[in-house]
């Protein structure tokens, strides 16, 4: 991580969001202290959801992996968690992230939503928030590689105005935002 980057937690991006079913959820930047909750979140995901995100079946993750996924610099790498209250406890139910590609104004984005929280509009709202943060950090383009069978992700991206190029094995998605 670059020593010049101020890694202060950007609390200004914490925001309450109402989902399509009327339920409330908190979007907030991820932090290192989320590692245990991130691991619980990851272990609740179905195999299909994990496969669609990583495009292979990774072995079980451990706390070191979790820490890696929860460590960002809030400029070149950024992630939002969506946090719901379940049985009076805070629970991570989705993560959307970007990672800047070396030396430019383009970042790769990825989403993963807990199965029972899918199709409630979470990723649609996460894209908007990631684009806002990206713009503030001089990122002008998002890219994503998506499996062609991942109709949900392709639909979310297309609805948001991503331009899509298909290759034989993967759809390559690119968005230049204003
Ligand atoms: C793909 C994924 C991120 C979509 O997130 P989501 O929060 O469920 O998507 P949204 O609720 O914002 O859906 C937006 C639109 O996509 C479409 N859509 C999403 N999921 C769908 C599904 N299962 N079936 C049909 N349409 C679907 C809907 O048309 C919806 O539009 P609407 O507002 O008209 O209903 C989520 O399903 C997921 O985590 N999948 C597994 C991991 C993955 O594929 N990651 C992508 C790698 S980059």
CA of 110 to the centre of ligand 1 (A): 12
- List, in order of start, the domains of the chain with CATH numbers: 11-138 (3.40.630.30)
Q: Is the CB of 95 under 6 A from ligand 1?
A: no
* Ligand 1 site-directed mutation target among 156, 170, 172, 173, most atoms within 8 Å of CB: 156
Phi, psi of 11 (to 5 degrees): -60, -20
Res. 74: pLDDT tops 80: yes
β-bridge mates for residue 28, sequence order: 81
- 111 C-alpha vs ligand 1 centroid, how far in Å? 10
Query: Is the pLDDT score of 2 beyond 60?
Result: no
Q: Which of 28-32, 68-72, 161-165 has the lowest mean pLDDT?
A: 161-165
Residue reference for tokens 């899509």: 164
Is pTM, for the whole model, over 0.85? yes
Distances (CA, A) of 140 to 15, 25, 43, 175: 22, 27, 33, 8
State if residue 155 touches ligand 1 by the CB under 6 angstroms criterion: yes
> Which of residues 172 and 47 earns the better pLDDT score?
47
Chain Cα centroid distance, residue 129: 10
Structure tokens that stand for 150 in this block: 């991942």
Would the CB of 154 count as within 6 Å of ligand 1?
no
């Amino acid at each position: 991580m670059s020593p010049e980057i101020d890694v202060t937690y950007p609390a200004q991006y914490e925001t309450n969001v109402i989902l399509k079913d009327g339920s409330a959820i908190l979007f907030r930047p991820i932090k290192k202290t989320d590692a245990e909750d991130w691991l619980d979140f990851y272990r609740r995901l179905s195999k299909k959801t994990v496969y669609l995100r990583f495009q292979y079946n990774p072995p079980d993750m451990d706390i070191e992996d979790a820490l890696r996924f929860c460590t960002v610099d809030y400029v070149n790498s950024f992630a939002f968690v969506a946090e719901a209250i379940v049985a009076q406890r805070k629970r991570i139910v989705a993560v959307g992230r970007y990672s800047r590609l070396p030396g430019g104004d383009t970042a790769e984005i990825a989403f993963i939503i807990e199965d029972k929280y899918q199709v409630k509009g979470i990723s649609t709202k996460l894209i908007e928030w990631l684009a806002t943060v990206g713009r503030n950090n001089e990122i002008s383009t998002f890219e994503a590689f998506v499996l062609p069978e991942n109709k949900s992700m392709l639909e979310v991206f297309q609805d948001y105005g991503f331009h899509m190029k298909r290759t034989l094995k993967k759809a390559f998605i690119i968005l230049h935002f204003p």
